[in-house]
Amino acid sequence: MKKFLPLIIVISTSCSSKIYKQKPAIRSLKTETLSVNYQGLLVQTLESKNINEDTIQFDFTYWNGWKDSKFYSEKDTVFITNNGIEREFINWISGKDTTVLDIYKQFNPGTYDAHYKAKNQGKVNVTIPEVYELTQILFALTDHAKPGLVDRNTEYYKRVQAYFSPFKNHPVFKKLQTELNNDLYINLRENSAAYLFDGQNIVLSHTYSGFRARDKFKKLLPLIQDFALKSDFQNFYKQEKPFYEKLESLEYENAQIKEAWDWLQIQFPSRVDAYRIIMSPLEGGWHSIRFFENNNFKENIIFMSAPPLISKDQAGPGINDALVLRRIFTEMDHNYVNPTSDKYLKDINEAMSNVGKWNIKNSYRSPSETFNEYMTWAVFGLYIYDRFGEATYNKVVSQPVDFMEKNRGFVKFGDFNKYLLELFKKHKQEKKVVELYPEILKWVKNENSNS
């Protein structure tokens, strides 16, 4: 008997103003070897002899524009397109076995009406939302949450445990643990931010319909709602509100997001109308981004951990500013780096074809994903150099280089970072960062071919 396998693929899909309720499309492919091309960014090959599941899920999450994907064999191809159908199925037939490919596409994740646009144009909103924090608390109370998901080394964590421990036998935790065991942490975390309290009831907001395809938070909502009522979560949130507001103010003050935003929009052609920083004091450091566009309004949403409880007046200038900013800058500049990289996708795939030479870990395994991680972190270095000067840059640069090479496995980042800075210095008065792409890709290609 085959099993069920959720294969969560984070791929960008197109924005639409409709709510799609069309019947699922069902198509077939007959082959022993199936290849999957995710919007030209990643190719995966599946062998039927290695598949033991009846169903494999592929989730296509909205990010920034649509590119077709495809499932294909030597003889046949099924394209995954922006056809308005939210869910499709492909019967993968190999001999006597059939595996169902369950494909979910996310449409219309953000709806920006005239009021929202007027209120948020040019703004940076830093917030610890109520339902989002409820979800983080549930993670913190789960016995076997993976290391790194929850920051347990704070007084706030102790207050959470003291208040909610009497409710740890609530049935929500058994269901939640199952979802966490299936690696659905990000889906639950981000989708919870699309919900809010209407009185005592948790409801979907008017602005967001979800942040990840196949909303798993909705599946758990009845149990989460019951837990919130029985534990009187809203009373706890009200008690902690001054603490949340202090963290929100510190993030805005210390990270100096508006200055970074202005610099990025000088260096790149992409434009963002508003930033929304969603965070939690329980978040263990797993950051992620979404980029929504609707009704001629572009919003970047960043999920991240809360800042340390150190005010700007208490911190040293320059170096602390730079390191605090790194947390958010390397998420912000994806909105500028990724669209530029998309224009050079063929060159990137060729230049970094030996991706294992650049990335020795299992994440970001395509050339474009690895290149974008290199580029976003190196652009952070350019910003530090340009804004704080060479002396501060020299004191700061070792931290991101060490982290990228030793922790994340991007083993040539130091050389990449050094060369991009040389280009930036050389062309500072003549070229913006976006114009340095041909030269840095030429260097990458040469390094890629060297033994």
Summarised one tens digit per residue, pLDDT across range 260-296 is 999 999 999 999 999 999 999 999 878 888 889 999 9
Q: What is the mean pLDDT of the chain?
A: 87
DSSP summary character for residue 123: -
Q: How many angstroms separate the CA atoms of 416 and 422, rounded?
A: 10
Q: Is the pLDDT of residue 26 over 60?
A: yes
Q: How many angstroms separate the CA atoms of 194 and 183, rounded?
A: 20
CB–CB of 405/413 below 8 Å? yes
Confidence of residue 323 (pLDDT cuts 50, 70, 90): low
Q: How many angstroms separate the CA atoms of 383 and 260, rounded?
A: 8
Global pTM reads 0.84
- pLDDT at position 313 is 38
Amino acid sitting at position 426: K
Q: Is the pLDDT of residue 357 over 70?
A: yes
> Which DSSP helix (H) or strand (E) runs through 416?
helix 413-427
> Which DSSP helix (H) or strand (E) runs through 228?
helix 216-231
Name the β-bridge partners of 278: 127, 303
CB–CB of 36/102 below 8 Å? no
Confidence of residue 178 (pLDDT cuts 50, 70, 90): confident
Q: Which two tokens stand for residue 116?
A: 């929202």
- Average pLDDT rounded to a whole number, residues 369-383: 96
Confidence of residue 394 (pLDDT cuts 50, 70, 90): very high
Q: Which two tokens stand for residue 137?
A: 């608390």
Q: Which two tokens stand for residue 395?
A: 């004191």
> Which has the closest alpha carbon to 241: 132, 129, 402, 323?
129
Q: Are strands 274-280 and 297-305 parallel, antiparallel or unpaired?
A: parallel
DSSP summary character for residue 168: T
Among 20-34, 67-81, 214-228, 351-365, name the one with the lowest average pLDDT: 20-34
